[in-house]
Amino acid sequence: MDKPKVVLGVSGGIAAYKACELLRRLTESGHEVRVVPTASALHFVGEATWSALSGNPATTEVWESVHEVPHVRIGQSADLVVVAPATADLLAKAAHGLADDLLTNTLLTARCPVVFAPAMHTEMWEHPATRENVATLRRRGAVVIEPAVGRLTGVDTGKGRLPDPGEIFEVCRRVLARGTAEQRLDLAGRHVVVSAGGTREPLDPVRFLGNRSSGKQGYALARAAVARGARVTLVSANSELPDPAGADVVRVGTAVQLREAVVKAAAEADAVVMAAAVADFRPARYAEGKIKKRDGHEPDPIALVRNPDVLAEISADRARPGQVVVGFAAETDDVLANGRAKLARKGCDLLVVNEVGEHKTFGAEASEAVVLASDGTETPVPYGPKEVLADTVWDLVARRLA
- Binding site as annotated, residues for CTP: 280, 290, 308-311, 328, 342, 346
For residue 245, the minimal CB distance to ligand CTP (Å) is 24
Build a one-symbol-per-residue string for 273-312: x at contacts with ligand CTP by CB under 6 A, - elsewhere: -x-x-x-x--------------------------x-xxx-
Closest by alpha carbon to 278, among 218, 324, 335, 341?
218
Strands 143-144 and 114-118: parallel
For residue 38, the minimal CB distance to ligand CTP (Å) is 45
> For residues 12 and 327, which CB has a smaller minimum distance to ligand CTP in the complex?
327
* Residue 278 · residue 332 · CB < 8 Å: no
Of 133, 211, 307, 338, the active-site residue reads 211
Which residues participate in the annotated binding site?
A: 280, 290, 308-311, 328, 342, 346
Is 56 a known active-site residue?
A: no
Is residue 53 within the footprint of ligand CTP (CB under 6 A)? no
What's the CA gap between 154 and 174, in Å, rounded?
33
For residue 146, the minimal CB distance to ligand CTP (Å) is 24
For residue 205, the minimal CB distance to ligand CTP (Å) is 24
Interface of this chain with ligand CTP, residues 239 to 258, rule: CB under 6 A: 255
Q: SS3 helix, strand, coil % of the chain, rounded to 5?
A: 35, 25, 40
Closest by alpha carbon to 101, among 74, 132, 129?
74
List 325's β-bridge partners, or say none. 272
Is residue 268 within the footprint of ligand CTP (CB under 6 A)? no
As to burial, measured by CB atoms within 10 angstroms (0-12 exposed, 13-18 middle, 19+ buried), residue 395 is: middle
Is residue 329 within the footprint of ligand CTP (CB under 6 A)? yes
> For residues 185 and 277, which CB has a smaller minimum distance to ligand CTP in the complex?
277
> For residues 7 and 311, which CB has a smaller minimum distance to ligand CTP in the complex?
311
Strands (E) located in 95-246: 114-118, 143-144, 148-151, 157-161, 191-197, 201-204, 207-209, 231-237
Strands 114-118 and 80-86: parallel
> For residues 130 and 254, which CB has a smaller minimum distance to ligand CTP in the complex?
254
For residue 21, the minimal CB distance to ligand CTP (Å) is 34
Reported as half-sphere exposure (CB side, CA atoms, 13 A), residue 96 has a value of 12
Q: Which residues bind ligand CTP (CB under 6 A)?
A: 255, 274, 276, 278, 280, 307, 309-311, 327-330, 342
Residues recognised as catalytic:
211
